Amino acid sequence: MGAQLRVYRRRIRSVRATAKITRAMELIAASRIVKAQQRVAASTPYAQAITRAVSAVASSSDLEHPLLTKKETATRAAVLLITSDRGLAGAYSSNVLREGESISAHLRETGHEVRPYLVGRKGIGYYRFRQREIAGEWSGFSESPSYVNAKEVADTLIEAFNTPTEDGGVDEIHVVYTQFVSMLTQSPVIQRILPLEVEETTEAPEGGAFPSYEFEPSAEGVLDALLPRYVEARVYNAMLQGAASELAARRRACKSATDNAEELIKTYTRLANAARQAEITQEISEIVGGADALAASGSE
């Protein structure tokens, strides 16, 4: 019985140590998420404004710019997946990877060859474990991406888009990331950022009618300058959204793990107390039995 009690006590110590780690990670994530939310709030208006500016230039001219015109014979597409560098974030990375598998399957069904570009060690490990080809990979900044990181990724995607398909380039660029909605809700989304999706409609665009622009020196020159900034802004905003979502998911997952650990400690404590009580009862029974035996032998 003493061996069983030692087992329970060892398990209690182990679970308590795990609970300390998850509690610390929960507090760290909670302290960082406020700054991550502020960065998302500061980046989103700029990303929306530059998207609106590019849309206004595209809609107010008949220019057939290569970054705006979808190829009728598109054969290769780039898919950028934004995952985390660390675990203990619940289903954050697996949701992105699942959406990535979904868009990749759809693109293959339409005759596209998929070129994956991965951000985060979880996505990189997922593809390496399955021995899949990786067109580009970046890691080490998933919780706190900088504009330099986004520019590096965006430059690689733009270079691939500008390269002819026969030379290894791509015809489309899709981004899969997790949109931060609230502390409790984070939704994986898929967006095509190049070429721009042009829709013919009589309804006013979101945010009101586009302003009327005069282009100097030309609409093509304006687009040449705007579109790289547009891709950088969209990729940067997607990374910031992912960082905030990762921290929120980690905080929630670690809190759940801490609560489960505390419940497990209570269960093991009850079992340990029961084992200890059983051990004491057995010892008392042995003492009483021994005393009775001695008394019986003395009376003889």
227 domain residue, yes or no: yes
Written as one letter, the residue type at 132 is R
How do residues 232-272 score in pLDDT, each as one tens digit?
A: 999 999 999 999 999 999 999 999 999 999 999 999 888 88
Total domain count, the chain = 1
Written as one letter, the residue type at 238 is A
Cβ neighbours around 4 below 10 Å, total: 15
Q: What does the block give as tokens for 207?
A: 């945010």
- Of 19-23, 92-96, 122-126, 203-207, the range with the lowest mean pLDDT is 203-207
What is the number of alpha carbons within 13 Å of residue 113 lying toward its C-beta? Answer: 12
Residue 201 has a pLDDT of: 46
Any idea what the CATH number is for the domain that residue 76 is in?
A: 3.40.1380.10
For 130, phi and psi rounded to 5 degrees?
-90, 5
Q: Where is 187: in which H helix or E strand?
A: strand 186-194
First-residue to last-residue Cα distance in the chain: 34
246 domain residue, yes or no: yes
Concatenated DSSP letters for 19-60? HHHHHHHHHHHHHHHHHHHHHHHHHHHHHHHHHHHHHHHHHT
Residue 155 has a pLDDT of: 92
271 domain residue, yes or no: no
- Whether 162 shows a pLDDT value over 90: the answer reads no
Which range of residues forms the domain containing residue 101?
61-197+212-250
Cβ neighbours around 238 below 10 Å, total: 26
- Of 59-68, 132-141, 180-189, the range with the lowest mean pLDDT is 59-68
Residue 136 has a pLDDT of: 92
How do residues 9-19 score in pLDDT, each as one tens digit?
A: 888 999 999 99
281 domain residue, yes or no: no
How do residues 274-291 score in pLDDT, each as one tens digit?
A: 888 877 777 787 777 777
Q: Which residues pair with 144 in a beta bridge?
A: none
Give residue 273's pLDDT band: very low, low, confident or very high (50, 70, 90).
confident
270 domain residue, yes or no: no
| pTM of the predicted protein model | 0.81
> How much of the chain is helix, strand and coil, in % rounded to 5?
60, 10, 25
- Whether 1 shows a pLDDT value over 60: the answer reads no
Give residue 64's pLDDT band: very low, low, confident or very high (50, 70, 90).
low
23 domain residue, yes or no: no
32 domain residue, yes or no: no
How do residues 86-99 score in pLDDT, each as one tens digit?
A: 888 889 999 999 99
Residue 43 has a pLDDT of: 86
